[in-house]
Structure 1
Amino acid sequence: MRRIKFCAGHRLFGHGGKCEHFHGHNYVADFFVQGDSQDDVGRVLDFSDLKKRVKGWIDEHWDHSFLIRDTDENAKQALSMVVPSRFFVMPYNPTAENMAKYLLEEMCPEALQGTGARAVRVRVWETDESFAEAAIQNQHDSDDSYVTSETISL
C-alpha cells in the first residue's frame, strides 16, 4: 500500500445540499497493489516506483484541480472563465466513492502497465473521519469491483 496526499476542489452536481457548492478537500488516497510474483529483491513493486506512477498521475490531473461531472455544464463554463484554471471532467459525480472507483478502474491499470502489479483496492479519504473504497472482488478480474464508504468516529 502506498499513501498519496493531494488537494482538490469539487462540487456534487444535483446534490441539493451544501456539497453542491464549489469546495475543496485535503484528500488522502491509499493504493493497495498485488502481483503474481516478486522480483529478485523480494518486491511486488518498489514503493518509490508505485509513488512515481500514481502520484505522478494525480499531480498531473487532480492535484490543485477541480473535479467536475461531465454533465455539469455550469461548472465547466464557470471554471473556463477563470484564467489560469485546472479542472478534470469525470464521467460521474466526483464523490469520494466515484473518485476511488475512477482511480482503481481507469487510472491504475494505465499507471501500473508493464509493472506486473495490479491495484486491488483504492481508498480515498475525504476527511480525517470519512473514506470511500473501491475494490476488486475477484482479484484476477478487474470487471468485478465494488464501492463502499464509511465514516469513522474518533
Structure 2
Amino acid sequence: MSLTIMRRIKFCAGHRLYKHGGKCENFHGHNYVADFFLSGESQDSVGRVVDFATVKAKCKGWLDQHWDHSFLVFEDDKNAIAALSQVQPCRMFLLPYNPTAENMAKYLLEVASPSLFAEGEGKVVRVRIWETDESYAEAALSQDCETVLSSVSTSSFDDI
C-alpha cells in the first residue's frame, strides 16, 4: 500500500511570460502556494511516511533560497534578463522554459525535489502550484515515473 502526505508552502515571486502577447508579458508577481505530495510504501517507527517538519524544512528551504522574492525568467528572454540586470540588488532565477504555473510545477517535481529527499524518505510524486486562489497547475509522476501536466482554473466556473 502507498501512503501520501501533502505539505503546503507559500512564497512570493515575480515573472513575465515571454512572447505571451497579452498582459502577462509584463512583469508582475503572485503570492504563490506550492503543494508538495510525497508518497511512500513504508512508515517510520512513529507511523509517518515523512515528518511534516522535514518536508517543510527541505521544500521551504529550497523555495526560500531560489524562488522566494525572486524574478523567475525564461533563459531565452534576453530582454527581461537585461532589464532586471539594471537593478541592484535583484534576485533572478533562470528557467529552461517560460515560468508558467505548469512549468514551475514541472521544475519543482523533476529538478528540485529529487535532490531534496534521500532514499526511504518518501518520494515527491506531485507538485501543485497555485498562482491565484482560483487557478493552479499540477505536475505528477505517472505509474512509469513520467511527468504528467494539468492545469485547472475555477474562475471559469464562476460564470455558470
Q: For the residues of structure 2 that align with 1:8 and 1:135, how far apart are their CA atoms?
A: 22
Instruction: Find the aligned partners of 2:120 and 2:62 in 1 and give their Cα distance.
Output: 16
Structure 1 runs (4+) deviating above 2 angstroms are 113-116
What is the correspondence of 1:66-77 to structure 2 with a 5 Å cutoff?
Answer: 66-77=71-82
Residues 1:102 and 2:107 are matched in the alignment: yes
SS of 1:146's partner is strand
- Matched to 1:15, the amino acid is H
Same amino acid, percent of matched pairs: 62
Query: Match of 2:125, SS?
Result: strand
Post-superposition offset of 1:36: 2.2
Match of 2:19 in 1: 14
Q: How far apart are residue 17 of structure 1 and its match?
A: 0.5
1:116 positional shift: 2.5
| 74-83 or 57-66, larger mean C-alpha shift | 74-83
Structure 1 segment 113-124 matched on structure 2, within 5 A: 113-124=118-129
Structure 1 unaligned segments of length 5 or more: list them. Answer: none
Match of 2:52 in 1: 47
For residue 34 of structure 1, report the CA deviation from its aligned partner: 0.6
Task: Find the partner of 1:89 among 91, 94, 116.
Answer: 94
What secondary structure sits across from 2:110 in the alignment? helix
Q: Does 1:63 align with 2:43?
A: no
Contact between 1:100 and 1:122, CA under 8 Å: does it hold in 2? yes
Structure 1 match to 2:149:
147
Matched residue count:
151
RMSD: 1.1
Aligned residues of 1:36 and 1:116 also touching (Cα < 8 A): no
| 2:93 is equivalent to residue 78 of structure 1 | no
Structure 2: unaligned runs, 5 residues or longer: 1-5
